[in-house]
A and B are shown apart, each in its own frame.
Chain A
């Protein structure tokens, strides 16, 4: 969080508090929307897209407001670590799903209509 440097202790306290409250507010909104979509029976396809997009946004919100990693130079190392781990995660997870579903497709004729 890039705080202006010349804050009094009280101002800095309020600034940090505001950060957590903002984080909670955003996270609540990003949680309530997908839950409502599922509870009130939005069509499956649209709901899955909504859940995926809002889930990714919520992860960014958590990283920014709770783990305090942002684009400032002070947090660059942690940001690089997170992004690189995210890349590894994507390669492994997406790769696994791709490879396994592809094998399923090739090895089980008639059963490849996978209902997600």
Chain B
């Protein structure tokens, strides 16, 4: 292991197991691989954003409801707050692991993160149900198809992130924190922060842009 490699991954932040020899090497490679996955995911989201952008014109509404008819500000505020706070609490869990704090502290922050994620999903689901109830279904217009392509795609990502997080919580509660857990949690942390970054795009373009 060259010293250059060491320097790369001893940078503080997301790589928890900085000084753990070969395990750490492997964890760093996996983290880089996960970055590549996230960037391909970013491109996927980008295409859905682009589609949404082309479906904002009047003809795409097909006489159906537009952004101002279907979006509710209160729900978006709560969803945004929940997701932003959850990214912060995940950060607290990350440093708790990095500095070998007690297991209880790590688990507490991870559980708070999971609850905030569930809050986000609950309010998003409620929003979709209201929209469906009001006849704003995907097949109504191009605009609604694009909306239900983009926003639930993010919701599915948060759902899978939450399932992953739940599995990690159970693993840590049962087996404690080992190198493998650290490596997996480092990737989940990237994923979770990345989803909040995508949400910044969604609330700016879809909700605030639509309601402005």
A contacts, CB < 8 Å to B: 1-3, 9, 12-13, 15-17, 19-20, 23-24, 27-28, 31, 34-35, 37-39, 42, 44, 47-48, 51-52, 54-55, 58-59, 62-63, 66-68, 72, 74-75, 77-78, 81-82, 85, 88-89, 92-97, 100-101, 104, 108, 111, 113-116
5 closest A-B pairs by CB = A68-B13, A55-B204, A114-B57, A96-B50, A20-B91
Chain A interface: which of B31-39, B117-125, B133-141, B170-178?
B31-39
- CB<8 Å pairs between A and B, sample of 5: A1-B12, A38-B73, A38-B208, A85-B43, A104-B57
Are A96 and B95 within 8 A (Cβ)?
no
Q: What is the CB-to-nearest-CB distance from A105 to chain B, in angstroms, rounded to a whole number?
A: 10
Q: A100–B59 Cα gap in the complex (Å)?
A: 13
Are A34 and B204 within 8 A (Cβ)?
yes
**Chain A residues near B200 (CB-CB < 8 A):** 31, 55, 58-59, 62
**Chain B residues near A108 (CB-CB < 8 A):** 59
Q: Pick the contact of A9 from B11, B53, B85, B99 — CB < 8 Å?
A: B99
Are B88 and A114 within 8 A (Cβ)?
no
Give per-residue flags for B186-208: 1 if the beta carbon is below 8 A from chain A beta carbons, else 0: 00001001101100110111001
Q: A35–B84 Cα gap in the complex (Å)?
A: 14
Q: Pick the contact of B35 from A13, A28, A81, A113 — CB < 8 Å?
A: A81
**Closest chain B residue to A100 by CB distance?**
B54
**Closest chain B residue to A30 by CB distance?**
B200
B contacts, CB < 8 Å to A: 7-14, 32, 35-36, 39, 42-43, 46-47, 49-51, 53-54, 56-59, 73, 77, 80, 84-85, 87-88, 91-92, 95, 98-99, 190, 193-194, 196-197, 200-201, 203-205, 208-209, 211-212
Q: What is the CB-to-nearest-CB distance from B150 to chain A, in angstroms, rounded to a whole number?
A: 12
Q: Which of B51, B58, B200 has the most CB of A within 10 A?
A: B200
Are A66 and B39 within 8 A (Cβ)?
no
Q: A24-B88, A85-B42 are in contact. Are A52 and B13 (CB under 8 A)?
A: no
Q: A116–B59 Cα gap in the complex (Å)?
A: 11
**Chain A residues near B98 (CB-CB < 8 A):** 16
**Chain A residues near B211 (CB-CB < 8 A):** 38
Q: A2-B11, A66-B196, A68-B12 are in contact. List 4 more A-B contacts (CB 8 A).
A: A23-B91, A67-B197, A77-B8, A111-B59
**Chain A residues near B7 (CB-CB < 8 A):** 74
